[in-house]
Amino acid sequence: MDVRNEHGSSLTIVLIFSVFALITTSVYIISQWTIAKPGLLAPSSFQALLNARSGIWKAMELMNAPPPDTLASINTLGTKFNDTLFGKQTQNIADSSALPPDDTTDVSIFSSDSFGKCKVIFTYIPCFKNLESNGIFRMQSKTVSARLGGILHTSPDTVCFLGTKIPPQGGGLIDGKVTQIPDSTLGGPTKSKFISEFRKQDLVKVISYYKAKFSNTNDSLFQNSVITIQDNDKIPTIKDIVNGPLLLDGSHHDLYWKEKRRILVLGDLQITGTVTVENIEFLVSGNVNLFDNCVFRNVSIFCSKTLTITDKAVFSGNALSLYQINASKRGRIENNSVLVAYNEKKDTSSSRIKVLCSIFLTQEVRCDGTVISCGNRAGIKTDKNVIIHGSLWSDSVICHEGTLLGFMRCKELISSEELDSRQTSTPPPISGKNVMKGSVRRLETIADYPYPFFMGKPSIVSWEESM
Amino acid sequence: MKHARYQDGMTILEALIAILILGITTTAITSLIVTGDRIAGRRTTIYTATTLAKSEIERLRAYEKSLVLPKDTLYDEVVNGVEYEVKRNWIPNDTISMNSTVLHREYSVSVTRKINQSVSVSFRTLQGYYGEPTQ
């Protein structure tokens, strides 16, 4: 019995050994596969990223496609001359010239579809366009976001672009070159890629887009009373559409609101106390008031009325106001921000007061960014003790008494006395001379400052890739 | 005696079965180990080739604001004693941009391991230019 048991056990041992060896080897191969999987998927993953990147370029082309009438003629030519390549290109553009905002569009990116496709969505953020491209290849997906703006061809040496040849007077300091803007570029868009290029039709388009947002929500709603937020717990209760004025009050508790979200406020927006807001896009049908040490970081604001930054409030991001921008009392504009005031209001004959300016930087304001004023009241006024890094761009006059490092562009420089006299007299006298009491110095990093998409040459001002 | 003979017969059978099982197991194990090594080798090759392609595409991206467009390129790279061929081609099919401000071109980037001339990886990308490059 014992002998038989010994003989029988050899088979059992072999079986156990075999099973153990197979398990060990299987574990080895599974571990090898697990280790290898990311490496083996790396090409698909990278191609998906390339598709997403390529989608940005394709979308940029589509957004800047020529108008349909041009396309019609090109298509006719393509058919007439039976040029397949030419015909294909025009067809691509004709298909895609409508890249509507807020809608996802499938974009064919390569000549061969075997390398995958991508989906593109573009949204307006007041001064820029945001493009998001989602590249797909063999179950792999990657996302790339790009912010589209403009670049101006400027040299740090030129600090002053003026509408007339008259050199600035008035005791101001100009450390750099003063250049005259060619007449052809004054007062509107031109084909020139010069400093003055301003595409009003693009700006009007974005304003219409936002106005449509307001009108779509106004139809069915009545405004509520002021919605006051005084506690962080209440912040999640803020709806996407706030049907009335919104007050964020950080006087009692510090408020912190960081979210990638678009909030439409049908009324005024007021921030007071210790409040920090990040990454939010506000569309406000009334005034926007940033008071008392509040901090806005990477925030976008579309404001139908006046934007006020005062009492040490800090703003960084981009803002478009349809009436006026006032920064005062040690308010700070930081991080290459962009502020645009576009005031279309015309002077009424009943009032003798003509408001020439739509941007006021006063009382020890510090500004790091681009300040642009255009429309019918396109003046900019800076007080002494105001320091600006960046540029002042006006389609009209600038009254500069502060310190500017960068450059300014305007039709005429005027003194504050003259500004006052022009605002109260009808019709305003034209002095014909450039007067400036402030200082302008060159800034080496001026090329790093972004401009809105409706100015200068279209370009990508920021780029973000998903990992 | 009868019992002992039965036992002997079983021993031979057992041994044969054991040898058979051992043979099958050894073959399976060897095959699995070879597959595992092949996976590891393939992973290394693909990963290295992808890394080389990434470098080449980053080089391409550096031309984004350049005033000249990059020319097609073909060169060899040696990584851990293995020689790879990196090739970047402009695909002229899709290069006409009707827009005067932003131009883009389609490129193919492929990396081949030179030992057996097999294409390890191949990528396609669009690269935009806004430095007003000359053709």
pLDDT at A9 over 80: no
User: What is the chain B residue with the closest CA to A71?
Assistant: B98
Structure tokens, A461: 């001002």
Query: Does A35 contact chain B (CB < 8 Å)?
Result: yes
Residue of A35, A43, A53 with shortest CB distance to B121: A43
Instruction: Give contacts of A 76-105 with B, CB under 8 A.
Output: 85-86, 89-90, 93
Single-letter amino acid, residue A310: T
Q: Which of B106, B95, B114 is nearest to B52 (CA)?
A: B114
Query: Does B35 contact chain A (CB < 8 Å)?
Result: yes
Mean pLDDT of A1-21: 67
pLDDT tens, A285-344? 999 999 998 999 999 999 999 999 999 999 999 999 999 999 999 999 999 999 999 988
Structure tokens, B130: 């806004």
Q: Looking at the DSSP assignment, which residues form a beta bridge with residue A157?
A: none
Residues of chain A neighbouring B25 (CB-CB closer than 8 A): 17-18, 21-22
Q: Which is more confidently placed, B124 or A21?
A: B124
Structure tokens, A40: 């083996």
Distance between CA atoms of A263 and A102, rounded to whole angstroms? 15
pLDDT tens, B41-93? 888 888 899 999 999 999 999 888 777 888 899 999 999 888 999 999 998 86
What is the predicted pLDDT for the residue at B131?
A: 62
pLDDT at A215 over 60: yes
Could you give the maximum distance between any two Cα atoms of chain B, in Å?
A: 103
- B53 and A46 in contact (C-beta within 8 Å)? yes
Edge-to-edge, what's the strand order for the sheet holding A104-107?
A: A104-107, A117-125, A128-137, A140-151, A457-465
Least confident of A165-169, A204-208, A241-245: A165-169
Does residue B86 sit in helix, strand or coil?
Answer: strand
Q: What ipTM was assigned to the predicted interfaces of this complex? A: 0.82
What is the predicted pLDDT for the residue at A430?
A: 56
In A304-402, where do the E strands start and end? Answer: 306-309, 314-321, 324-327, 332-343, 357-361, 366-375, 379-382, 387-394, 397-400
CA distance A127 to chain B (A): 19
Distance between CA atoms of A62 and A57, rounded to whole angstroms? 9
- A354 and A337 in contact (C-beta within 8 Å)? no
pLDDT at A15 over 90: no
Q: Which of A200, A62, A199, A193 is nearest to A131 (CA)?
A: A62
User: What is the chain B residue with the closest CA to A87?
Assistant: B96
Task: pLDDT band for A283, please (50, 70, 90 cuts).
Answer: very high
Mean pLDDT, chain B, integer: 80
User: What is the chain B residue with the closest CA to A51?
Assistant: B125
In A75-229, where do the E strands start and end? Answer: 104-107, 117-125, 128-137, 140-151, 158-162, 173-175, 177-180, 227-229
